[in-house]
Amino acid sequence: MADPAYEVRRSDRARRARLTVTRDGRAIVVLPRRAPAGVAGDLVRTHAEWLRRQLDRMARNQARLAARTPLADGRVMEIDGIPYLVDAHVEPDRRRGSVSQTPPTNLTEPGRLSVRVGPDESVAELLEPWLRREARRVLVQRVAALTPVVGVALPSVTVRDQRSRWGSASRSGRLSLNWRLILTPPYVLDYVVVHELAHLRVSGHGPRFWTLVRKHAPETDEARRWLRQHHDELLAALD
């Protein structure tokens, strides 16, 4: 079986050869500037089976995302654990669009997110600020509820759009949380909040830190697995 295709990049900062797979399914070998070119092929052959599994997983993720119902055509989104059908309509006479929420009335049908779109707007442009507001409301509530449980002072909360992390905690006692957490199941959102609150007590990710996190977020392993599996879906939620 032929080795998987890969790209080679040189880096003055790299101290050793490194093999990575990008989110769009490309294998990249990063080499130190003076490393022999053959090191890249050796690295790929050594890790060929791992690399094929990663590339297959990326391809499946991309196919799953491509098969979704378009956002404007009635995609179902889960918001704070509750499914909502996006009901979008273009209204040419509108000067400014709007988003309204109708919760589900039973357990078998989703609620509705009614998006009324003006002529110069898109569904995504209207939904993102609305989701950010919802995220801030829910995240502030969960931080306030979980802060005394973890045993730290109530921090200030910033809601951002980080592309590579779900949250962070500063030494000054501030939390920065990703608005896309509103699209995760509640136990996943709570795990991220507990994780960042725990950093206000314990720095690093040693055994003491994980003991504290798992004590107050018992579904930690399941939440971490969910975030890994749905990472690309969350980043492309409004595509």
* Phi, psi (degrees; rounded to nearest 5) at 54: -65, -45
Q: What is the pLDDT of residues 118-134, one digit of tens each?
A: 888 999 999 999 999 99
C-alpha span between 30 and 40 (Å, rounded): 8
pLDDT exceeds cutoff 80 at 2? no
**Could you tell me if residue 1 is inside a domain?**
no
My answer on whether 42 and 109 are in the same domain is no
At 21 the pLDDT is 87
Domain extent at residue 41: 7-66
**Could you tell me if residue 36 is inside a domain?**
yes
| pLDDT, average across residues 141-168 | 95
My answer on whether 54 and 82 are in the same domain is no
pLDDT exceeds cutoff 90 at 79? yes
Q: What is the pLDDT of residues 44-61, one digit of tens each?
A: 999 999 999 988 888 888
My answer on whether 100 and 166 are in the same domain is yes
pTM of the shown model: 0.83
At 93 the pLDDT is 83
Residue whose pair of structure tokens reads 């939390």 in the numeric block:
175
My answer on whether 212 and 129 are in the same domain is yes
My answer on whether 61 and 137 are in the same domain is no
The overall average pLDDT reported for the chain is: 93
Percent above pLDDT 70 for the chain = 99
pLDDT exceeds cutoff 80 at 3? no
My answer on whether 107 and 219 are in the same domain is yes
C-alpha span between 72 and 61 (Å, rounded): 21
At 62 the pLDDT is 85
| pLDDT, average across residues 6-32 | 90
My answer on whether 58 and 116 are in the same domain is no
My answer on whether 77 and 29 are in the same domain is no
At 42 the pLDDT is 92
C-alpha span between 122 and 111 (Å, rounded): 21
My answer on whether 131 and 221 are in the same domain is yes
**Could you tell me if residue 99 is inside a domain?**
yes
Of the candidates 23, 81, 88, which has an alpha carbon nearest to the alpha carbon of residue 228?
23
C-alpha span between 79 and 181 (Å, rounded): 9
pLDDT exceeds cutoff 70 at 1? no
